[in-house]
Amino acid sequence: MTETKALFDVLRQTAEARSVDAIERVVRDGSDRDLCRINALDFARREDIDVEHVIAAFLHASRIGLFDLSWNMLCPGCGGVLDAGATLKTFDHDRYNCALCAAAYEPTLDEMVEVTFTVNPRVRRIVAHDPDTLPYIEYCRQVFWSSGIDLPEDLESHFDEFAIEVLELPPGEKALLSLQLPSEFIIVFDPVTHATQFIDVKGEPTRERQSLTLVFNQVQAPTGTAEMRPGPLRLSLENRTSRRVLPGVWVANQVMHDMIGHRKPFLTAKRLLTNQTFRDIYRTDTLDVDQRLKITSLTFLFTDLKGSTELYERVGDLVAYDLVRQHFSVLYRIVASEAGAVVKTIGDAVMATFPTPDRALAAALRMREAMQEINDQRGGEDLLLKIGIHEGPCLAVTFNDRQDYFGQTVNMAARVQGLAKSRSIFATRSIVADSGAIKILEKSGLQPVEQRAALRGITDDALVYEIP
């Protein structure tokens, strides 16, 4: 039995069978490109497999060494990978600069950090394991751009429509290019160092030779813009880095903009942090203690059992303990099935996160129904669940040796749950106004009841909705 086959046998013990079969096929039969920075959402779509099963399978595959998980900081403008690392601890800058877009961005976990999976070299060696051996086009495709850019199969033909010149420049080498500048905005860009030089070509054409020098070094220089006239250009390039560079001279035309404008969904850091399998596998190995990363929108769900103290008195410690454990087991299962994750339990209460309001609302309705089924089976009203839901910005942090969340959104969600009475679900406007949540409510025949309420620690009365 080969080591790889043994690893897949181990994977089958923890991951869904169809997902494992699909991953094994691509490792065996896929191209090198197919195994570099795999977009788990795109993979699930192509294989027609439940996306949560696929994400869980890739996470387990990474845990046992079949794949390497990578967190990639992306430019929201061009989709380029600005930084990458094996953990979120890599990202310790307040701002990330994209030279190609000439813009700086404050990092957030919503759409700026993607999570991808690349086959481990011990399982199968691919060209991207030695990125400096990739041809220019494939380097741009597999290394520079993120898995969320929907690049065409015939990428080279698209480059032919906007790339005037591209070349490979080894370490310590120099090159001299003679070009004819058109009356267009020109970008000289190297996807390895991200060094960029803009050339604003305008005015009357000239026959006089113009000159420009660009030096690539280990310290990324800020983007610069030079004004030139249409006509001949002598472009001097020097590589002072320890690896090859791949400078290209591009015309910033519509073909280029259209190409990088085609996007597809990808696995974001926010979505992965709210994934139960990820939390179970990686636990605290995500953020440094002093690290604070922003999430612009995350949905929080808090639950609590009404009258749990009376429950222990009424049915006895042993029965009550078994009931509470059963209640936790059901909630965990529902949260995970709705793409959420349990952050922590506090006594008989649960704090969970979801990537979107509709998944949290769907989970809340299922939780309420599940508790009623348990009560019906017992012929009583032992498990009365109070639920509160709120959505908004927050900080991802490490607290008490666990990956946690901090901010007013978290506090608000907890306070909203405090309004709930037995079997009731309380939510804020950001939840009931969500398009996905509206569809769930309409399908369930539920009409939220609006009310104003005073929330502890919140200055003004809040507008909340009870879902009967």
Rounded distance between C-alpha atoms, residue 315 and residue 445, angstroms: 35
* Number of CB atoms found within 10 A of residue 131's CB: 16
* Contact by Cβ (8 Å): 150, 262: yes
Residue 444 in any domain: the answer is yes
Domain that includes residue 83, residue range: 3-132
Residue 204 has a pLDDT of 95
Residue 281 in any domain: the answer is no
Residue 409 tokens read as 């959104």
Rounded distance between C-alpha atoms, residue 363 and residue 338, angstroms: 6
Nearest Cα to Cα of residue 209 among 178, 236, 182: 178
Residue 450 has a pLDDT of 93
Rounded distance between C-alpha atoms, residue 441 and residue 439, angstroms: 5
* Contact by Cβ (8 Å): 41, 266: yes
Residue 98 has a pLDDT of 94
DSSP 129: G
Do residue 460 and residue 333 come from a single domain? yes
Do residue 193 and residue 115 come from a single domain? no
Which residue reads 């369930």 in tokens? 444
Rounded distance between C-alpha atoms, residue 438 and residue 84, angstroms: 38
Residue 140 in any domain: the answer is no
Do residue 119 and residue 51 come from a single domain? yes
The alpha carbon dihedral of 19, 22, 28, 30 has a sign of negative
Cα-to-chain-centroid distance, residue 245: 29
* Contact by Cβ (8 Å): 231, 113: no
Do residue 333 and residue 453 come from a single domain? yes
Do residue 319 and residue 453 come from a single domain? yes
Task: List the alpha helices (DSSP H) in 189-294.
Answer: 254-261, 269-273, 276-282
Do residue 300 and residue 406 come from a single domain? yes
Residue 382 has a pLDDT of 73
Which of the listed residues 252, 274, 309 is the one where a domain comes to its end? Answer: 252
Rounded distance between C-alpha atoms, residue 76 and residue 78, angstroms: 6
Task: Tally the domains of the chain.
Answer: 3
Rounded distance between C-alpha atoms, residue 74 and residue 186, angstroms: 23
Q: What is the Rg, in whole angstroms, of the alpha carbon atoms belonging to the chain?
A: 27
Rounded distance between C-alpha atoms, residue 68 and residue 57, angstroms: 13
Residue 422 has a pLDDT of 76
Residue 451 in any domain: the answer is yes
Q: Each residue of 55-76: pLDDT tens digit?
A: 999 999 999 999 999 999 999 9
Which residue reads 């020097």 in tokens? 238
Rounded distance between C-alpha atoms, residue 177 and residue 186, angstroms: 15
Task: List the alpha helices (DSSP H) in 167-316.
Answer: 254-261, 269-273, 276-282, 308-315
Do residue 384 and residue 239 come from a single domain? no
Residue 307 has a pLDDT of 61
Residue 106 in any domain: the answer is yes
Do residue 322 and residue 366 come from a single domain? yes
Residue 463 in any domain: the answer is yes
Beta bridge partners of 145: 80
Residue 312 has a pLDDT of 67
Which of the listed residues 132, 149, 180 is the one where a domain comes to its end? Answer: 132
Rounded distance between C-alpha atoms, residue 335 and residue 367, angstroms: 9
Helix (H, G, I), strand (E, B) or coil at 173: coil
Nearest Cα to Cα of residue 190 among 142, 244, 246: 246
- CATH code of the domain covering residue 328: 3.30.70.1230
Nearest Cα to Cα of residue 417 among 392, 449, 389, 394: 389
Residues of the chain with pLDDT under 50: none
Residue 257 in any domain: the answer is no
- The secondary element (H helix, E strand) that includes residue 359 is helix 357-378
Do residue 348 and residue 434 come from a single domain? yes
* Contact by Cβ (8 Å): 459, 411: no
Residue 324 in any domain: the answer is yes
Do residue 312 and residue 453 come from a single domain? yes
Say how many residues make up the chain.
468
